[in-house]
Amino acid sequence: MDEGRNGMIDAIYNWIDNRLALSKSGRHLLNKIFPDHWSFMIGEIALYSFIVLLISGIFLTLYFVPSEAIVTYHGAYKPLDGMRVSEAYASTINLTFAVRGGLFMRQLHHWAANIFVGSIVVHMLRVFFTGAFRRPREANWMIGATLLILAIFNGFLGYSIPDDLVSGTGIRIAFSILESIPFVGTNLAFFLFGGNYPGTDIIPRFFILHVLILPLIILGLLAGHLGMLVKHKHAQFKGRGARNDNVVGSPLWPNYAAKAGGFFFLTTGVTAILAALVQINPIWQYGPYVPYKVSYAVQPDWYMGWLDGALRVMPAWEIHLPGHMVPNVFFPGILLPGVTFTLIYLWPFIEAKFITHDYSEHHLLDQPRDNPLRTSIGAAVFAFYFVLFGASATDVLANYLQVSLNVVLWVFRISCIVIPIIVFPVAYKICLELQKTPDAGKRKRHVIIVRDPEGAYHSVESAEYVGYVAPELNPVDIEEVDLQPEIDALNTPKETPQDGIYQVPR
């Protein structure tokens, strides 16, 4: 209609296109197909939370002062007025009380971090139980595992830098875990902290790791993760028309752009509403970190909970060698996560070699029931870490349930061995049972009341999906779609029917 404006846009597009040849590859990008299943959106939650983290984090860095220099706080919060605190703590308090929207941004950042790591874990479980890590996606699985480690680490760093009483205690434990590593531990701890605990360098160093170094690595790996996703294209569940050599679903443009774009805003909205209503990490109530002060009920954020739980349930064992020792915290603090992530990294290869003996390329996903051994191993291992996670709250649980703390700890000590042993055969049996009922998990058929010619009523099950056609449609090859006739039809208003812009008269 408006020739001038369209001409301008065309000119800009042509200028860019003549330098990057976008038109050659752009169309394939628009055609990228996303499978229609909700479980493929879990990773997106992580991606969007990461964007929220970047944006809110940029806001926070403008006010946070990463310094352990001692200053006297004077400000809005009376119980801290006149207290000698670190600059890091004082600036976080000022950010909370004196900067407009500061507390909201802090809470948004912290909730987004919780959701970020949480959605990574759920995404990883989906990938594991559906066998999406098999060839050719082993490397992407390993990148994902690395991203999980980095997310956990960066969460811990961010939790630590306000230098409050609760997180400071966590840093002390981190020092103890570092120094427990045989041979190099004490050196590592001294190098990281710039000397014996507490040192004066840890807040600035944690800060630069938290806001620059780890986010950059995460960004790089994320690019690799998504790049490989584009290269391999999405895996997909078995279904009508889905084959190993195609992808069935909705195209990037316009369907998925709208859906995923909307999902970004929905994720952000949920996080913002959470940040509005639920207070997180009220460090003004915790006070500044002072090495000889401590609070009971100190826990790390939930994603470190399994480590804290492991520290608690670990029996009081140490290994003493002539002239040397392996401290207690080494086993739950270093060995356990080391073994955990080594197993996660190697799982695709372990499974192919010992369980499935299948090295071929897979783009069609398993239902968890299809591979009972994988599913039950995964469930048992997950149960183990879930119990450890619960063990990080022994004291809070004992207080809440009014049960002896010692009893609660023993319950967890026993549970972390017994529960996985129970979960394994139960999961295995459930898989086998599900295999026998192929319709399990699908929508139930409608029961229809019919009236026969004599006037009597009967209730009968409908034929499969009567009245619902969408899942039964055959996929249309996106490469063969051209909507130009439809656009032409749109431009001739008389012939356009009232309902549905894509309906074209024959």
Q: How far is the CB of 254 from other proteins (least distance, A)?
A: 6
Asked if 287 interacts with other proteins (CB under 8 A), we say yes
- Which amino acid type is present at position 299? Q
CB atoms closer than 10 angstroms to residue 471 = 12
Q: Environment class of residue 259 by beta-carbon count within 10 Å: exposed (0-12), middle (13-18) or buried (19+)?
A: middle
Q: How far is the CB of 83 from other proteins (least distance, A)?
A: 5
Interacting span for other proteins (CB under 8 A) from 87-95, 113-121, 141-149, 432-440: 113-121
Q: How far is the CB of 422 from other proteins (least distance, A)?
A: 23
Q: How far is the CB of 425 from other proteins (least distance, A)?
A: 27
**Two tokens at 258?**
């709208």
Asked if 357 interacts with other proteins (CB under 8 A), we say no
- β-pairing, 324-326 vs 319-321, is antiparallel
Q: How far is the CB of 206 from other proteins (least distance, A)?
A: 13
Question: How many residues at the interface with other proteins, by CB under 8 A?
Answer: 198
State phi, psi for 359 to the nearest 5 degrees: -110, 10
Report the site for other proteins in 439-478 (rule: CB under 8 A).
446-452, 459, 462-463, 465-471, 473-478
Q: How far is the CB of 436 from other proteins (least distance, A)?
A: 26
Report the site for other proteins in 198-237 (rule: CB under 8 A).
198-199, 201, 232-233
Do the Cβ atoms of 319 and 326 come closer than 8 Å? yes
Asked if 183 interacts with other proteins (CB under 8 A), we say yes
Q: What span, in angstroms and rounded, lies between the C-alpha atoms of 357 and 247?
A: 26
Interacting span for other proteins (CB under 8 A) from 32-40, 341-349, 351-359, 376-384: 32-40
Cross-strand pairs, 495:
none
User: 3-class DSSP state for residue 388?
Assistant: helix
Q: What is the 3-state secondary structure (H, E, C) of 68-81?
A: CCEEECCCCCHHHC
Q: Find the distance separating the first CA and the last CA of the chain, reported in whole Å.
A: 26
Q: What span, in angstroms and rounded, lies between the C-alpha atoms of 280 and 282?
A: 6
Closer residue to other proteins in complex, CB, 61/114: 114
Q: Of residues 61, 246, 356, 496, which one binds other proteins by CB under 8 A?
A: 246
Interacting span for other proteins (CB under 8 A) from 182-190, 207-215, 349-357, 428-436: 182-190
Q: Of residues 144, 162, 185, 420, which one binds other proteins by CB under 8 A?
A: 185
Asked if 437 interacts with other proteins (CB under 8 A), we say no
Closer residue to other proteins in complex, CB, 40/385: 40
Asked if 399 interacts with other proteins (CB under 8 A), we say yes
Q: Of residues 281, 340, 367, 415, which one binds other proteins by CB under 8 A?
A: 281
Cross-strand pairs, 72:
84
Closer residue to other proteins in complex, CB, 318/358: 318
User: 3-class DSSP state for residue 362?
Assistant: coil
Rg value, the chain, Cα: 28
Report the site for other proteins in 52-111 (rule: CB under 8 A).
77-83, 96-97, 100-101, 103-104, 107-108, 111
| DSSP H or E segment with residue 309 | helix 305-313
Asked if 257 interacts with other proteins (CB under 8 A), we say yes
E runs forming strands in 78-142:
84-86
Do the Cβ atoms of 164 and 83 come closer than 8 Å? no
Cross-strand pairs, 427:
none
Q: How far is the CB of 233 from other proteins (least distance, A)?
A: 5
Asked if 404 interacts with other proteins (CB under 8 A), we say yes
Q: Of residues 286, 385, 412, 424, which one binds other proteins by CB under 8 A?
A: 286
Biggest alpha carbon distance in the chain? 97
